[in-house]
Amino acid sequence: MDFKLTKEQELIQKAARDYATNVISPLAKQIDEEDKIPQEVWNGLAELGFMGIPFEEELGGGGAGYECYVLAQEQIARASSGVATALSVHTTGLDAIATFGTKEQKEKYIPKGCGGEGKSSFAFTEPGTGSDPKQLTTIATRAGDYYVINGVKRFITNAGYEGPMVIFCKDSDTGGCSAYILDKFSEGYSLSKPWEKIGGHGSPIFDVYLKDVKVPAGNLLGEPGKGFAILLLGIAMGKVGTSTIALGGMLAAYEEALKYAKEKLHRGSPIAKFQAIQLKVAHIAAKYQSTRWMCYRLGTLATDIKDAAQFQAEAALLKGYASDTAVEVAKLAMDVHASYGLTTDYPVERIYRDAIIAPQIEGVSDMQRIIFAASVLN
Protein backbone atom coordinates (compact mmCIF):
# COMPACT_ATOMS: atom_id res chain seq x y z
CA MET A 1 0.00 0.00 0.00
CA ASP A 2 1.62 3.22 -1.22
CA PHE A 3 0.14 6.61 -0.35
CA LYS A 4 2.72 8.50 -2.38
CA LEU A 5 1.52 10.39 -5.45
CA THR A 6 3.12 9.64 -8.80
CA LYS A 7 5.15 12.32 -10.58
CA GLU A 8 2.27 12.96 -12.97
CA GLN A 9 -0.19 13.30 -10.11
CA GLU A 10 2.09 15.72 -8.29
CA LEU A 11 2.42 17.86 -11.42
CA ILE A 12 -1.35 18.00 -11.98
CA GLN A 13 -1.97 18.80 -8.32
CA LYS A 14 0.62 21.58 -8.39
CA ALA A 15 -0.71 23.01 -11.66
CA ALA A 16 -4.23 23.08 -10.20
CA ARG A 17 -3.08 24.67 -6.96
CA ASP A 18 -1.05 27.32 -8.79
CA TYR A 19 -3.95 28.16 -11.09
CA ALA A 20 -6.42 28.25 -8.21
CA THR A 21 -4.11 30.48 -6.14
CA ASN A 22 -3.03 32.85 -8.88
CA VAL A 23 -6.16 33.13 -11.00
CA ILE A 24 -9.29 31.86 -9.23
CA SER A 25 -8.65 33.05 -5.66
CA PRO A 26 -8.23 36.74 -6.62
CA LEU A 27 -11.61 36.49 -8.39
CA ALA A 28 -13.37 34.40 -5.73
CA LYS A 29 -15.14 37.34 -4.08
CA GLN A 30 -16.28 38.65 -7.48
CA ILE A 31 -17.54 35.19 -8.46
CA ASP A 32 -19.43 34.94 -5.18
CA GLU A 33 -21.04 38.37 -5.54
CA GLU A 34 -21.88 38.14 -9.25
CA ASP A 35 -22.76 34.41 -9.27
CA LYS A 36 -20.82 34.11 -12.51
CA ILE A 37 -17.54 32.57 -13.59
CA PRO A 38 -15.46 34.96 -15.73
CA GLN A 39 -14.64 33.61 -19.18
CA GLU A 40 -10.93 33.98 -18.42
CA VAL A 41 -11.30 31.32 -15.72
CA TRP A 42 -12.97 28.91 -18.13
CA ASN A 43 -10.28 29.60 -20.72
CA GLY A 44 -7.56 28.74 -18.25
CA LEU A 45 -9.29 25.54 -17.12
CA ALA A 46 -9.50 24.42 -20.75
CA GLU A 47 -5.93 25.39 -21.60
CA LEU A 48 -4.59 23.44 -18.64
CA GLY A 49 -6.65 20.40 -19.57
CA PHE A 50 -8.82 20.44 -16.44
CA MET A 51 -12.06 20.18 -18.43
CA GLY A 52 -11.17 16.70 -19.62
CA ILE A 53 -8.73 15.16 -17.14
CA PRO A 54 -10.26 11.65 -16.91
CA PHE A 55 -11.16 11.14 -20.57
CA GLU A 56 -9.25 9.34 -23.30
CA GLU A 57 -6.45 11.21 -24.99
CA GLU A 58 -7.81 10.05 -28.35
CA LEU A 59 -10.93 12.11 -27.62
CA GLY A 60 -9.06 15.20 -26.46
CA GLY A 61 -8.93 14.31 -22.78
CA GLY A 62 -6.01 14.09 -20.43
CA GLY A 63 -6.10 10.32 -20.02
CA ALA A 64 -5.15 10.83 -16.37
CA GLY A 65 -8.08 9.09 -14.70
CA TYR A 66 -10.26 10.17 -11.82
CA GLU A 67 -7.34 10.05 -9.39
CA CYS A 68 -5.95 13.19 -11.04
CA TYR A 69 -9.41 14.68 -11.45
CA VAL A 70 -9.86 14.50 -7.68
CA LEU A 71 -6.47 16.09 -7.06
CA ALA A 72 -7.31 19.02 -9.35
CA GLN A 73 -10.86 19.44 -8.05
CA GLU A 74 -9.67 19.67 -4.46
CA GLN A 75 -7.44 22.62 -5.28
CA ILE A 76 -10.01 24.36 -7.47
CA ALA A 77 -12.71 23.96 -4.80
CA ARG A 78 -10.29 25.36 -2.24
CA ALA A 79 -10.44 28.63 -4.20
CA SER A 80 -14.07 28.58 -5.33
CA SER A 81 -16.82 26.07 -4.68
CA GLY A 82 -18.81 27.53 -7.57
CA VAL A 83 -16.07 26.96 -10.15
CA ALA A 84 -15.51 23.42 -8.91
CA THR A 85 -19.25 22.66 -8.99
CA ALA A 86 -19.64 23.85 -12.58
CA LEU A 87 -16.62 21.76 -13.55
CA SER A 88 -17.96 18.72 -11.68
CA VAL A 89 -21.31 18.80 -13.49
CA HIS A 90 -19.55 19.32 -16.81
CA THR A 91 -17.42 16.24 -16.15
CA THR A 92 -20.45 14.19 -15.07
CA GLY A 93 -22.28 14.96 -18.29
CA LEU A 94 -19.29 14.11 -20.45
CA ASP A 95 -18.65 10.92 -18.48
CA ALA A 96 -22.16 9.63 -19.25
CA ILE A 97 -21.48 10.13 -22.96
CA ALA A 98 -18.01 8.58 -22.68
CA THR A 99 -19.37 5.51 -20.86
CA PHE A 100 -22.64 4.86 -22.70
CA GLY A 101 -22.33 6.79 -25.96
CA THR A 102 -21.78 5.48 -29.44
CA LYS A 103 -18.55 6.16 -31.30
CA GLU A 104 -20.28 8.97 -33.17
CA GLN A 105 -21.66 10.53 -30.00
CA LYS A 106 -18.29 10.44 -28.28
CA GLU A 107 -16.50 11.99 -31.24
CA LYS A 108 -19.12 14.72 -31.56
CA TYR A 109 -19.25 15.87 -27.95
CA ILE A 110 -16.23 14.84 -25.90
CA PRO A 111 -13.39 16.61 -27.78
CA LYS A 112 -15.33 19.87 -27.75
CA GLY A 113 -16.15 19.50 -24.07
CA CYS A 114 -12.55 18.76 -23.15
CA GLY A 115 -11.43 21.78 -25.18
CA GLY A 116 -13.83 24.15 -23.44
CA GLU A 117 -16.32 24.50 -26.30
CA GLY A 118 -19.53 24.43 -24.31
CA LYS A 119 -20.23 23.04 -20.86
CA SER A 120 -22.16 19.85 -20.20
CA SER A 121 -25.22 19.48 -18.01
CA PHE A 122 -26.88 16.47 -16.37
CA ALA A 123 -30.65 16.84 -16.02
CA PHE A 124 -32.87 14.48 -14.05
CA THR A 125 -34.56 16.52 -11.30
CA GLU A 126 -38.04 17.93 -11.88
CA PRO A 127 -40.37 20.03 -9.70
CA GLY A 128 -42.26 16.91 -8.61
CA THR A 129 -39.53 14.27 -8.48
CA GLY A 130 -37.30 13.11 -5.70
CA SER A 131 -35.04 10.26 -6.70
CA ASP A 132 -37.75 8.14 -8.32
CA PRO A 133 -37.61 7.93 -12.14
CA LYS A 134 -41.22 6.67 -12.12
CA GLN A 135 -42.26 10.21 -11.18
CA LEU A 136 -40.77 11.75 -14.33
CA THR A 137 -43.20 13.97 -16.20
CA THR A 138 -40.83 15.13 -18.97
CA ILE A 139 -41.87 13.09 -21.99
CA ALA A 140 -39.92 12.06 -25.07
CA THR A 141 -42.04 11.02 -28.05
CA ARG A 142 -40.61 9.44 -31.19
CA ALA A 143 -41.51 11.35 -34.35
CA GLY A 144 -39.70 10.00 -37.40
CA ASP A 145 -36.00 10.79 -37.19
CA TYR A 146 -36.42 12.76 -33.95
CA TYR A 147 -37.56 12.53 -30.38
CA VAL A 148 -39.76 15.45 -29.32
CA ILE A 149 -39.26 16.41 -25.67
CA ASN A 150 -41.70 18.33 -23.48
CA GLY A 151 -41.39 19.09 -19.78
CA VAL A 152 -39.54 20.99 -17.07
CA LYS A 153 -36.23 20.21 -15.38
CA ARG A 154 -35.29 21.86 -12.10
CA PHE A 155 -32.02 22.99 -10.44
CA ILE A 156 -29.90 22.34 -13.53
CA THR A 157 -26.28 23.48 -13.37
CA ASN A 158 -24.58 24.82 -16.52
CA ALA A 159 -27.98 25.14 -18.21
CA GLY A 160 -27.09 28.70 -19.21
CA TYR A 161 -24.08 27.59 -21.25
CA GLU A 162 -24.18 26.08 -24.71
CA GLY A 163 -23.15 22.45 -24.93
CA PRO A 164 -24.70 19.01 -24.47
CA MET A 165 -27.22 18.14 -21.79
CA VAL A 166 -27.69 14.51 -20.79
CA ILE A 167 -31.41 14.53 -20.04
CA PHE A 168 -33.65 11.82 -18.58
CA CYS A 169 -37.22 11.54 -19.81
CA LYS A 170 -40.14 9.13 -19.74
CA ASP A 171 -40.20 7.32 -23.07
CA SER A 172 -43.73 7.50 -24.48
CA ASP A 173 -43.27 4.13 -26.22
CA THR A 174 -41.78 2.02 -23.43
CA GLY A 175 -43.02 4.01 -20.44
CA GLY A 176 -39.55 3.64 -19.00
CA CYS A 177 -36.79 6.15 -18.34
CA SER A 178 -34.54 6.90 -21.31
CA ALA A 179 -31.49 9.16 -21.62
CA TYR A 180 -30.85 11.56 -24.48
CA ILE A 181 -28.16 14.03 -25.49
CA LEU A 182 -29.84 17.39 -26.03
CA ASP A 183 -28.05 20.37 -27.51
CA LYS A 184 -28.87 23.29 -25.22
CA PHE A 185 -30.58 26.31 -26.78
CA SER A 186 -32.21 24.23 -29.49
CA GLU A 187 -35.57 25.64 -30.60
CA GLY A 188 -38.06 25.33 -27.72
CA TYR A 189 -35.36 25.43 -24.99
CA SER A 190 -35.69 28.25 -22.45
CA LEU A 191 -34.66 29.04 -18.89
CA SER A 192 -36.01 30.54 -15.71
CA LYS A 193 -34.11 33.19 -13.83
CA PRO A 194 -31.31 31.56 -11.83
CA TRP A 195 -32.35 30.42 -8.37
CA GLU A 196 -30.86 32.52 -5.58
CA LYS A 197 -28.79 30.18 -3.41
CA ILE A 198 -27.19 30.84 -0.04
CA GLY A 199 -23.79 29.73 -1.36
CA GLY A 200 -22.10 27.88 -4.17
CA HIS A 201 -22.15 31.05 -6.22
CA GLY A 202 -20.61 30.90 -9.66
CA SER A 203 -22.58 27.79 -10.59
CA PRO A 204 -26.13 29.14 -10.96
CA ILE A 205 -28.99 26.66 -11.24
CA PHE A 206 -32.01 27.05 -13.49
CA ASP A 207 -35.36 25.56 -14.32
CA VAL A 208 -35.22 24.38 -17.93
CA TYR A 209 -38.40 24.62 -20.00
CA LEU A 210 -38.68 22.24 -22.96
CA LYS A 211 -41.43 22.92 -25.49
CA ASP A 212 -41.41 20.53 -28.46
CA VAL A 213 -37.61 20.35 -28.43
CA LYS A 214 -36.37 18.07 -31.21
CA VAL A 215 -33.53 15.68 -30.47
CA PRO A 216 -32.15 13.56 -33.32
CA ALA A 217 -32.91 9.86 -32.92
CA GLY A 218 -29.17 9.28 -33.06
CA ASN A 219 -28.85 11.18 -29.78
CA LEU A 220 -30.57 8.48 -27.75
CA LEU A 221 -27.98 7.54 -25.11
CA GLY A 222 -27.93 3.81 -24.52
CA GLU A 223 -31.05 1.72 -25.15
CA PRO A 224 -34.69 2.90 -25.01
CA GLY A 225 -36.17 2.50 -21.54
CA LYS A 226 -32.76 1.69 -20.02
CA GLY A 227 -31.89 5.17 -18.75
CA PHE A 228 -32.07 4.25 -15.07
CA ALA A 229 -28.70 2.44 -15.17
CA ILE A 230 -27.14 5.50 -16.84
CA LEU A 231 -28.72 7.71 -14.20
CA LEU A 232 -27.45 5.65 -11.26
CA LEU A 233 -23.88 5.53 -12.50
CA GLY A 234 -23.99 9.20 -13.49
CA ILE A 235 -25.16 10.21 -10.04
CA ALA A 236 -22.38 8.13 -8.47
CA MET A 237 -19.76 9.74 -10.71
CA GLY A 238 -21.18 13.12 -9.77
CA LYS A 239 -20.58 12.28 -6.12
CA VAL A 240 -16.86 11.94 -6.82
CA GLY A 241 -16.90 15.61 -7.74
CA THR A 242 -19.32 16.69 -5.00
CA SER A 243 -17.34 14.92 -2.27
CA THR A 244 -14.09 16.45 -3.49
CA ILE A 245 -15.66 19.91 -3.56
CA ALA A 246 -16.48 19.40 0.11
CA LEU A 247 -12.88 18.32 0.64
CA GLY A 248 -11.58 21.48 -1.04
CA GLY A 249 -13.77 23.54 1.25
CA MET A 250 -12.23 21.79 4.25
CA LEU A 251 -8.75 22.55 2.96
CA ALA A 252 -9.70 26.20 2.55
CA ALA A 253 -11.17 26.29 6.06
CA TYR A 254 -8.04 24.67 7.50
CA GLU A 255 -5.70 27.14 5.81
CA GLU A 256 -7.82 30.13 6.82
CA ALA A 257 -8.02 28.93 10.44
CA LEU A 258 -4.25 28.49 10.58
CA LYS A 259 -3.63 31.89 9.04
CA TYR A 260 -5.98 33.70 11.38
CA ALA A 261 -4.74 31.88 14.50
CA LYS A 262 -1.15 32.89 13.73
CA GLU A 263 -1.92 36.51 12.82
CA LYS A 264 -4.65 37.54 15.29
CA LEU A 265 -3.05 39.01 18.41
CA HIS A 266 -4.21 38.95 21.99
CA ARG A 267 -2.13 41.06 24.34
CA GLY A 268 0.70 41.03 21.86
CA SER A 269 0.74 37.29 21.14
CA PRO A 270 -1.06 35.23 18.48
CA ILE A 271 -4.25 33.50 19.62
CA ALA A 272 -2.61 30.26 18.49
CA LYS A 273 -1.17 30.12 22.02
CA PHE A 274 -4.58 29.28 23.46
CA GLN A 275 -5.32 25.62 23.94
CA ALA A 276 -8.92 26.11 22.81
CA ILE A 277 -7.68 27.33 19.42
CA GLN A 278 -5.16 24.50 19.18
CA LEU A 279 -7.89 21.92 19.80
CA LYS A 280 -10.08 23.36 17.05
CA VAL A 281 -7.23 23.40 14.55
CA ALA A 282 -6.33 19.80 15.40
CA HIS A 283 -9.97 18.72 14.96
CA ILE A 284 -10.08 20.45 11.56
CA ALA A 285 -6.86 18.73 10.47
CA ALA A 286 -8.12 15.27 11.51
CA LYS A 287 -11.42 15.70 9.68
CA TYR A 288 -9.71 17.01 6.57
CA GLN A 289 -7.13 14.21 6.47
CA SER A 290 -9.71 11.44 6.93
CA THR A 291 -11.89 12.84 4.14
CA ARG A 292 -8.88 13.43 1.91
CA TRP A 293 -7.85 9.81 1.74
CA MET A 294 -11.43 8.64 1.27
CA CYS A 295 -11.77 11.00 -1.71
CA TYR A 296 -8.48 9.90 -3.22
CA ARG A 297 -9.57 6.26 -2.87
CA LEU A 298 -12.92 6.93 -4.55
CA GLY A 299 -11.09 8.60 -7.42
CA THR A 300 -9.06 5.42 -7.88
CA LEU A 301 -12.22 3.30 -7.83
CA ALA A 302 -13.91 5.59 -10.38
CA THR A 303 -11.05 5.15 -12.86
CA ASP A 304 -11.56 1.39 -13.00
CA ILE A 305 -15.09 0.42 -11.92
CA LYS A 306 -15.23 -3.34 -11.49
CA ASP A 307 -18.59 -3.53 -9.68
CA ALA A 308 -21.03 -0.71 -10.48
CA ALA A 309 -23.32 -1.42 -7.53
CA GLN A 310 -20.44 -1.47 -5.06
CA PHE A 311 -19.00 1.72 -6.52
CA GLN A 312 -22.36 3.46 -6.20
CA ALA A 313 -22.58 2.41 -2.56
CA GLU A 314 -19.03 3.64 -1.83
CA ALA A 315 -19.78 6.95 -3.55
CA ALA A 316 -22.94 7.38 -1.48
CA LEU A 317 -21.10 6.64 1.76
CA LEU A 318 -18.39 9.21 1.03
CA LYS A 319 -20.80 11.86 -0.21
CA GLY A 320 -22.79 11.73 3.03
CA TYR A 321 -19.66 11.74 5.18
CA ALA A 322 -17.77 14.43 3.28
CA SER A 323 -20.76 16.77 3.10
CA ASP A 324 -21.53 16.64 6.80
CA THR A 325 -17.87 16.81 7.76
CA ALA A 326 -17.36 19.90 5.59
CA VAL A 327 -20.05 21.68 7.61
CA GLU A 328 -18.36 20.68 10.88
CA VAL A 329 -14.97 21.88 9.63
CA ALA A 330 -16.35 25.19 8.38
CA LYS A 331 -18.04 25.75 11.76
CA LEU A 332 -14.78 25.05 13.60
CA ALA A 333 -12.92 27.49 11.34
CA MET A 334 -15.65 30.04 11.99
CA ASP A 335 -15.17 29.50 15.74
CA VAL A 336 -11.45 30.24 15.38
CA HIS A 337 -12.33 33.56 13.76
CA ALA A 338 -15.08 34.30 16.29
CA SER A 339 -17.06 37.46 15.45
CA TYR A 340 -14.66 38.43 12.64
CA GLY A 341 -15.73 35.31 10.76
CA LEU A 342 -19.20 36.78 10.39
CA THR A 343 -17.91 39.60 8.22
CA THR A 344 -17.25 39.47 4.49
CA ASP A 345 -13.71 40.72 5.16
CA TYR A 346 -12.65 37.11 5.79
CA PRO A 347 -13.10 34.17 3.35
CA VAL A 348 -14.34 31.85 6.10
CA GLU A 349 -17.81 33.43 5.83
CA ARG A 350 -18.06 32.32 2.20
CA ILE A 351 -16.51 28.94 2.99
CA TYR A 352 -19.21 28.36 5.61
CA ARG A 353 -22.06 29.33 3.25
CA ASP A 354 -20.67 27.02 0.58
CA ALA A 355 -20.27 24.14 3.02
CA ILE A 356 -23.84 24.08 4.30
CA ILE A 357 -25.12 23.47 0.78
CA ALA A 358 -23.25 20.17 0.41
CA PRO A 359 -25.46 17.90 2.60
CA GLN A 360 -28.57 18.97 0.69
CA ILE A 361 -27.53 18.46 -2.94
CA GLU A 362 -27.08 15.36 -5.10
CA GLY A 363 -28.86 13.30 -2.47
CA VAL A 364 -29.29 14.38 1.15
CA SER A 365 -26.79 12.90 3.57
CA ASP A 366 -29.14 10.54 5.40
CA MET A 367 -30.31 9.04 2.10
CA GLN A 368 -26.67 8.38 1.17
CA ARG A 369 -26.15 6.45 4.39
CA ILE A 370 -29.32 4.45 3.73
CA ILE A 371 -28.08 3.58 0.23
CA PHE A 372 -24.78 2.31 1.62
CA ALA A 373 -26.42 0.44 4.51
CA ALA A 374 -28.77 -1.34 2.11
CA SER A 375 -25.77 -2.57 0.13
CA VAL A 376 -24.15 -4.25 3.14
CA LEU A 377 -27.24 -5.37 5.06
CA ASN A 378 -29.21 -7.03 2.27
The per-residue pLDDT for 131 is: 65
pTM of the model: 0.96
**Residue 312 to residue 255: CA distance in whole angstroms:** 31
Task: Give 309's Cβ-side CA count (13 Å radius).
Answer: 5
Residues 1-18, buried b or exposed e (16+ Cβ, 10 A)?
eeeeeeeebeebbebbbe
CATH superfamily of 7-114: Acyl-CoA dehydrogenase/oxidase, N-terminal domain (1.10.540.10)
Q: Are 256 and 333 in contact (CB under 8 A)?
A: yes
The per-residue pLDDT for 173 is: 86
The per-residue pLDDT for 154 is: 96
The per-residue pLDDT for 232 is: 94
User: What are the backbone dihedrals phi and psi of residue 240, each rounded to the nearest 5 degrees, phi first?
Assistant: -60, -45
CATH class of 121-226: mainly beta
Question: Is 362 one of the catalytic residues?
Answer: yes
DSSP state of 138: -
Q: Which option is the CATH number for 228-377: 1.10.1760.20, 1.10.10.10, 1.20.1050.10, 1.20.140.10?
A: 1.20.140.10
The per-residue pLDDT for 134 is: 75
Q: What are 150's strand-pairing partners? A: 139
Catalytic residue (one of 67, 126, 314, 362): 362
**pLDDT means per 10 residues in the chain (378 residues)?**
90 98 98 97 98 97 97 98 98 98 98 97 91 84 97 98 98 92 98 97 98 98 94 96 98 98 96 98 98 97 96 97 98 98 97 96 90 92
